[in-house]
Structure 1
Amino acid sequence: MGEAYLNMRGGVPWLSLMIFLPLLGALLTALVPERRNAGLHRWGALLLSLMPLGIALYVAVTYRAGTTDNGLQQVYDYVERLPWITVLGIEYKLGVDGIALPLVLLTTLLTPVAILASFNLRERPAAFLSLILLLETTLLGAFLALNWFLFFIFWEVSLVPSFFLINSWGRTPERRREAALKFFVYTMAGSVGMLFAFEIFYLATRAAGRGTLDIVELTRLAQGLPVAGLSGDLTQLVYGYLQDLGVVGVLGGSPPFYMAVLFLATFVALAVKLAVWPFHSWLPDAYGESPTPVSMLLAGVVTKMGGYAMLRLLLPIFPAQMQQAAMLLGGLALMSILVGAWVAYHIARVPLRGEGKLNDLKLVIAYLSINHMGYVMLAIAAAGAAGALADLNSRAIAVNGALVQMVAHGLSTAALFFLAGSLAERSGSYELSAFGGLRMALPALAGLMGVAMFANLGLPGLAGFVGEFFIFRGAWDALPVWTALAMIGLVLSALALLLMYQRIFFGPINPRLRALPDLSPREWGVLLPLLALLIALGIYPLPLMRLANETALALVRFFAGA
């Protein structure tokens, strides 16, 4: 067990406050009687959700990359470390670095935006807002936890508010229950493998002298670095434990074989959350059936947990396995890119050709999310590829690109889902065939949706381009064939978005839609922060890159032999 301490600025545990203020808000919102207090619930939840955003901005401004606190080697800052379940050697341990901080900022921004987007909700608003705030707590906890046990609690508990938000407030009663159950079962089943893998790590380290689930310590063991009370690298510790247990005698196999099994179990859990092909089939149903604010958070942040965990767990704890599997992971990434873009393109073009009935606006955006998360997977695969295939700078560029892509996609997709919901509120439908010619009736909505669409397809000058450019530049050295083929996805996704936009805003107008109202002040308030950041990060991404780069270099240095 490490020494108990809190790294506080001004005597305040900022990370704990950031995590648990939304939980306090969830409890207060749930406990205040709902009758005659709808406005209090809405504005109270919004104000409470702004507090974590303020803390996140303070942490980002004062974050010191590369510092070392009380013997913690890495680039973590604001570390909080307290004994928790001492009999198992489990600590309450939090910390922030350049991988977590961009996603923390994204989470704390999208939560108040999603709450503002829900102001027109009439059905049980207090319960809805409580679950949104609870979801924020679980997301922030997963991004900031430095003990795997604590991380896993937040990872799993995030399923609970997500399930009830989809199940109780989804679009159609007959389909939302199926979508919620599918989402819950897929992600819960996937997590079983990760639980098994890290239980083996704990038992193996305990057999060697001191059981640990500390992510920093497991990372050091995996890379052959010393850890107090333990000797030997993680692969040998696992093999020695399984040998003593008799597993090796029955199954045979070398030490790398057993680490490969644990790698596969962990990868599946994270791939399900990131919605990597072929583990993606829960996503279209969940996104399509969720109410608009929940779609914004699911697409904007929840799937990013998978990408974050790959950077936090897969790359540093399974470096040899990442090198061996890089080509396979790149192939899965390519399939995600192409399948997501192709299905989105097919949905957008089908009504033009008079074929079929599948023309749901939210499904186009959902499948494009699979496409964009494929780019993130491609960058992660390239960052972990065999040492001869990429230098340190290319790997760091790929990691930076993955982080910028996750932030840019979170902003643009949240905006697109909100605009889709706004169109449905006005027209009563998400079907593309119900629209047409709305550019003249809704000029402001058409203009802002154009900005969000171009950001999503990666137009230069907007944040999506920065992420995609860095991913392709970083992945080219390690996975040139997959990277070249992935560029086909850029064309297909652009076609899907342009066809979608054309069906909604051009052509003859549907007569019943001529008198629709344009954007309200509330809708402007939701969209302006998202689109302003997409433009700002597209023109000047340096602040975001500066946050991430030091950690990205530290993360990939092992692979480059530095």
Structure 2
Amino acid sequence: LLETVTVLAVIGGWEKPRVKEYMALLLLLEAGVMGVFMALDLLLFFLFWEVELAPMFLLIGIWGSETEKHGMPGRIYSAWKFLLYTFFGSIFMLAGILLVYFQAGQNTASLPVLMQHLLPASTGVTLPLLGVTMGSQLLAFLLVFVAFAVKIPMFPLHTWLPDAHTDAPTEVSVILAGVLLKMGAYGLIRICLGLFPDGLQQFAPLLVVLAVINILYGAAICLVQKDMKRLVAYSSVSHMGVILLGVAAAAMAVHTSNPDVARFGTAALMGATVQMISHGLITSLLFFCVGVIYDRAHTREIEIFGGVAKRMPLWATLFTFAGLASLGLPGLAGFVAEYMVFTSSYRIWPVPTAIAVFTMILTAAYLLWMLKRVLFGPFNLRWNWLPDATWREAIPLVTLAAFIVLVGIYPGFLLDVIVPALHHLLPVATTALGR
């Protein structure tokens, strides 16, 4: 996913001013994110987590929007907001990593080693100043969880995301939504489920509440958005909540003796992992489509468009396709992931899952409302001059659309990779699945 999205972002941003510096920072950003996904050492994980901050800060701050925000250019405001939020979470992550290092007594930060020597869930740690005692594994989980909650992003730590997307260049928004948000979800699965299974299980009831809030709040706030890019940004908050719901269900499969909970918890985690891929593909396509119209009209206001499909049929077709994929149309990537999560998590968290499924109605409402206002209806003669997408713009759009169809029709090639990887995190549950 990272490699695909980065290559397409390079193609999409080929005509940027100061293109050499722009591409160099994109590649540095890619290297940092790749390091996060490949690191098998907690300190290396933290190092690469920090490496991606600098190029993202510069990409937003230099090539971002000039729209005025709080007395300064929007690109400056959003770049600093992104940096400060992420750095805030990183402080807690570092504290959690140090706690694991000193409490585990292994003199190493290697993930495979630490997974074999988990922190005892019953050993208490007294917090300085507060005087509160809690299990060392739960405390380490909570510290690291803050960083992942910021990056996912999870309500109420999400406010940096709409500003960052609104003011970032299109290609940076694509990488941010397509890959960077998945760093938080990946950390939640790889680190929290791998190193702090008992802590995650204790936190699961609150996590499922936060997941439902994410899904419901993100969808509801989309209904009042007037900017296409901001609407897609808030839709990411909602769709990332589906991943949280899957992880919350999987947390209940830790150390379970109930084979049904084991099966459904693992299936929910598989669905959450597929959702990471499908959301990355679909949201990247949505941001590319918004970028195409913005490069021509220099506005993203939904209200001022109308009937644009008459002038830009290829772009309108792909934009409609992206919207339908995002709302979970069967046969496309979004449906596969959400179906796996919802049908599995319902057996473990029935009421929260029912609320989340109902929220999908709101998802259809805001996406179809946006498509109707922008593409169809009375044609606004103001846009009579708009040209359709060029071949350079069409390459990323068509490529992403093809991957969305592939995952929707044949998700087995992803599951063949996902299931063996999950076996190391939930061995009891995956054994119960018979895989």
TM-score of the superposed pair, with normalisation by structure 2:
0.93
> What RMSD, in angstroms, separates the aligned Cα atoms of the two structures?
2.0
SS of 1:303 mapped into structure 2: helix
Q: Contact 2:346–2:353 (CA<8 Å) still a contact in 1?
A: yes
Q: Contact 1:180–1:286 (CA<8 Å) still a contact in 2?
A: yes
Q: Contact 1:204–1:211 (CA<8 Å) still a contact in 2?
A: no
Indicate how the Cα distance of structure 1 residues 434 and 388 shifts in structure 2: closer, same or farther if over 3 A, else same.
farther
Alignment of 1:284 onto 2:162: yes
Alignment of 1:439 onto 2:309: yes
SS of 1:328 mapped into structure 2: helix
Provide Cα deviations, 1:209-242, integer angstroms capped at 9, x if missing partner.
x4111111111212xxxxxxxxxx5447x75xx6
Alignment of 1:253 onto 2:133: yes
Indicate how the Cα distance of structure 1 residues 331 and 303 shifts in structure 2: closer, same or farther if over 3 A, else same.
same
Structure 1 residue 252 displacement after superposition? 6.6
1:203 corresponds in structure 2 to 102
**Aligned match of 2:31 in 113, 134, 137?**
137
2:4 partner letter: L
Aligned length: 424
**Separation (CA, whole Å) in 1 of partners of 2:405 and 2:161:** 27
- Give structure 1 stretches of 5+ with no counterpart: 1-105, 223-232, 348-358
**Aligned match of 2:3 in 75, 96, 108?**
108
SS of 2:223 mapped into structure 1: helix
**Aligned match of 1:381 in 216, 238, 248?**
248
Structure 1 residue 339 displacement after superposition? 0.5
1:167 corresponds in structure 2 to 61
Identity %: 38
Runs of 4+ residues deviating >6 angstroms: 247-250, 559-562
**Separation (CA, whole Å) in 2 of partners of 1:115 and 1:275:** 25
Structure 1 residue 558 displacement after superposition? 4.8
Alignment of 1:342 onto 2:342: no
Provide Cα deviations, 1:89-125, integer angstroms capped at 9, x if missing partner.
xxxxxxxxxxxxxxxxx0010001000000221x211
Q: Contact 2:179–2:280 (CA<8 Å) still a contact in 1?
A: yes
Indicate how the Cα distance of structure 1 residues 261 and 515 shifts in structure 2: closer, same or farther if over 3 A, else same.
same
Indicate how the Cα distance of structure 1 residues 560 and 518 shifts in structure 2: closer, same or farther if over 3 A, else same.
closer
Structure 1 residue 434 displacement after superposition? 2.0
**Separation (CA, whole Å) in 2 of partners of 1:460 and 1:291:** 31
**Separation (CA, whole Å) in 2 of partners of 1:532 and 1:560:** 31
**Separation (CA, whole Å) in 1 of partners of 2:26 and 2:232:** 22
Provide Cα deviations, 1:162-202, integer angstroms capped at 9, x if missing partner.
11101111122511111111111001101111110110121
2:274 corresponds in structure 1 to 404
**Separation (CA, whole Å) in 2 of partners of 1:279 and 1:170:** 22
Indicate how the Cα distance of structure 1 residues 399 and 131 shifts in structure 2: closer, same or farther if over 3 A, else same.
same
Provide Cα deviations, 1:459-509, integer angstroms capped at 9, x if missing partner.
000011001001112211221111111012211111110000011011111
**Separation (CA, whole Å) in 2 of partners of 1:493 and 1:448:** 18
- Give structure 2 stretches of 5+ with no counterpart: 68-72
Alignment of 1:356-367 (within 5 A): 359-367=226-234
1:374 partner letter: G
Indicate how the Cα distance of structure 1 residues 129 and 561 shifts in structure 2: closer, same or farther if over 3 A, else same.
closer
1:335 partner letter: I
Structure of greater Rg: 1
**Separation (CA, whole Å) in 2 of partners of 1:159 and 1:248:** 30
1:7 corresponds in structure 2 to none
1:150 partner letter: L
**Separation (CA, whole Å) in 2 of partners of 1:116 and 1:518:** 17
